[in-house]
Structure 1
């Protein structure tokens, strides 16, 4: 089987960037998705350019930080201070779809303008497949010819059927290496603990990082990011995946197998 290990939130903070790059350089991480509005995006991508084997996609966001476009251009997306409004995952998202299309297009174009050829699309807090905005995600996937992350843990058959109708390539995502499940045991019995059915390629979502003030104060998921980094660079984990004949790669490597 083929496994993509993707570090989300690249560009969020110095510690996040350093953690993702170390997990790639010394561990099993093969891919990352970048926040176009991340304050530390440019410095992170400059360092990431040293690692051609690291795939880089776009981490679409509409609930973290400020938009790439001016708040005046996308007023339905922002609060009175110009920050993205919060959107609880299972509630209706009330916004102007035309404005979101403009903003998410701008996010993809910003990543491209910094010298990156994106490998795929996913979303912060998985909002890219929320039923109220999913059509926009699929339109962008078609426009840019990019696969999208699909998480069975969060998304049902209705969403999957819509994706199939658009003939968009799917990354079968795993979101269970998270919080209390962050341990070496997750990988030591990786193949026996997951029912992949007919999936030849799976993508594991993770957030390895060094702790810094931005992560500590800006994310409720903080300490576990440091633990993830330790595990993803563990020699025991790397050996276990080799012994289970798990082939590591990024989306570009496995695109023909999706």
Structure 2
């Protein structure tokens, strides 16, 4: 069985990034979804440009500030010059498509300037912003709509037709055994490592599992409803029990590029460092 372990919200802040780097260096992260407009973007790029075995996705939350001047994208920003839908998703529908298109192109140019490459994959968004994201992804060969699986609403999500044969599915634990809510009072019940190890062993599926590994600072604590679970996600991705579960089940860790194109980038990295998680060591 092959699994992609993804880190989301990469680039949130410099401090948050430190937790992500821990999950890469001492853990099982094979792919990073990077936000291109948040305070930790530049330090994230400086780190990730030295990790070619990590797939980069464009994490299209648009939680920070536009790359363009606020005066160039007035339909997208609030009075402080920040993207205006952070707390009000309905504001996404007020976005001007042409402004969104300019901002999306500017964000990708910024990514190329700092990272030295464009993202391999992309998430999405609703309304005119979502349409603009798809347009610039098509312009640049960035893959989207490639993951299926059961969503948080319990409904099955289908990828685009051209990716269905790859059978890439997101693993979301809906049992309720390992997660109650993101409230601080429910933190004792949050067990992402346990959720990972509930993943069905299925040789016909490429599973993708997403967590938010990162450390906390005042910016994240003020901004996000997801706070201390992020620290637990770092621990889960580095957990020796999870690594042993991977070894015992002979799970092949891959990045998203490997899943899409049949490459072997992440396993070659594990082989080069003689990791016990290299599939060759498991078969020995």
Whether these two folds match at TM > 0.5 is yes
What's the counterpart of residue 69 of structure 1?
68
Bigger relative CO (Cα 8 Å, ≥ 6 apart) = 1
* CA positional deviation for 1:49: 3.0
| Separation in structure 2 between the aligned mates of residue 166 and residue 96 of structure 1, nearest angstrom | 30
Inter-CA distance 129–165: structure 2 relative to 1 (3 Å threshold)? farther
Mapped contact 2:170–2:208 kept (Cα < 8 A): yes
Give the TM-score normalised by the residue count of structure 1: 0.81
Pairing partner for 2:250 from 245, 251, 254: 245
Q: How does 1:171-210 map to 2 (within 5 A)?
A: 172-176=169-173, 179=182, 182-191=191-200, 200-210=205-215
Pairing partner for 1:216 from 200, 218, 221: 221
Inter-CA distance 95–24: structure 2 relative to 1 (3 Å threshold)? same
| Separation in structure 1 between the aligned mates of residue 236 and residue 25 of structure 2, nearest angstrom | 14
| Separation in structure 2 between the aligned mates of residue 224 and residue 4 of structure 1, nearest angstrom | 20
Give the TM-score normalised by the residue count of structure 2: 0.74
Q: Which moved more, 1:76-85 or 1:87-96?
A: 87-96
Counterpart of 1:190 in 2: which secondary structure?
A: coil
Inter-CA distance 132–166: structure 2 relative to 1 (3 Å threshold)? farther
| Separation in structure 2 between the aligned mates of residue 31 and residue 182 of structure 1, nearest angstrom | 21
Q: Which moved more, 1:182-191 or 1:75-84?
A: 182-191
Mapped contact 2:120–2:143 kept (Cα < 8 A): yes
| Length, aligned pairs only | 246
Mapped contact 2:120–2:257 kept (Cα < 8 A): yes
* CA positional deviation for 1:6: 1.4
Unaligned 5+ runs, structure 1 = 123-127
Q: Deviations over 1:126-159 (max 9, x none)?
A: xx24255443333233222122255641689898
Q: Deviations over 1:99-133 (max 9, x none)?
A: 112112211221111113422112xxxxx242554
What do you get for the CA RMSD once the two structures are aligned? 3.3
Inter-CA distance 165–201: structure 2 relative to 1 (3 Å threshold)? closer
* CA positional deviation for 1:237: 0.2
| Separation in structure 2 between the aligned mates of residue 253 and residue 165 of structure 1, nearest angstrom | 16
Counterpart of 2:12 in 1: which secondary structure?
A: coil
Larger radius of gyration: 2
Counterpart of 2:57 in 1: which secondary structure?
A: strand
Mapped contact 2:168–2:259 kept (Cα < 8 A): no
| Separation in structure 1 between the aligned mates of residue 80 and residue 72 of structure 2, nearest angstrom | 14
* CA positional deviation for 1:174: 3.9
